[in-house]
Amino acid sequence: MSDPIQRESPLVRHAVPAGAETSRGNAGITASEHAFHGHLNLRGDAQDERFVAGVRAMLGVAPPITANTVNEAQRNTVYWLGPDEWLIVTPDERRVPVDTGLRSALRGMRFALTDVSGGQTVVVVRGAPVRDLLAKGCPLDLHPKAFDFGQCAQSHLAKAPILLRPLAGEPAFEIIVRRSLAEYLWLWLEDAAAEYGFEVGA
């Protein structure tokens, strides 16, 4: 019998080995990959009350209708991508239940739901100089008065298309990037963070 297929994240070569020390606390920037989440692209009519109610019933939160905002509930995060488009990120074990549950809740309505989990990954970058770091390669205004928790934006970082979100409670950003560009982006972050000190987090 052949061995079962093992999933491998696009940044497996840069991960901290199991049991290894993750931080010495002397680097200005810490980066980590949050691999194997469910990523579901949802299209639908935000003006249709039935559609909004169906999404809320399944996810515990309505799809955001304000541009470049995020709604969260029950370990589900819903990112606004456009007036009729959202990205849902959910834990890996919830990917199939959320997918099938949404299809059931929205049955009979006009919608499209596409599982893009295998094509994307999440990188989280933390540290006091994180906004200065990202500003080296991102054209967005990253000042907290312009871009802070509860918001998201599609942009570019070092020419790589990304979905960017500030996190709460600390200077930190979540970067969603295509799998094919993940290692390129990681290596750029390492290089751009050299002046601050760079560590790999858990």
Dump pLDDT digits (tens) for 156-190.
999 999 999 999 999 999 999 999 999 999 999 99
pLDDT digits (tens, 9 = 90+) for 108-128: 999 999 999 999 999 999 999
Choosing from 84, 117, 150, the residue where a domain stops is 117
Structural domain span for residue 156: 26-35+119-200
Band of the pLDDT at 15, cuts 50, 70, 90? confident
In a domain, 184, yes or no: yes
Choosing from 76, 95, 117, the residue where a domain stops is 117
In a domain, 1, yes or no: no
Residues 124, 59: one domain? Answer: no
pTM for this entry = 0.92
CATH number of residue 67's parent domain: 3.30.70.1520
In a domain, 11, yes or no: no
Query: What are 149-156's contacts with CB under 8 Å, separation 24+?
Result: 150/69, 150/70, 151/68, 151/69, 151/70, 152/68, 152/69, 152/70, 152/79, 152/80, 153/68, 154/81
Task: Tally the domains of the chain.
Answer: 2
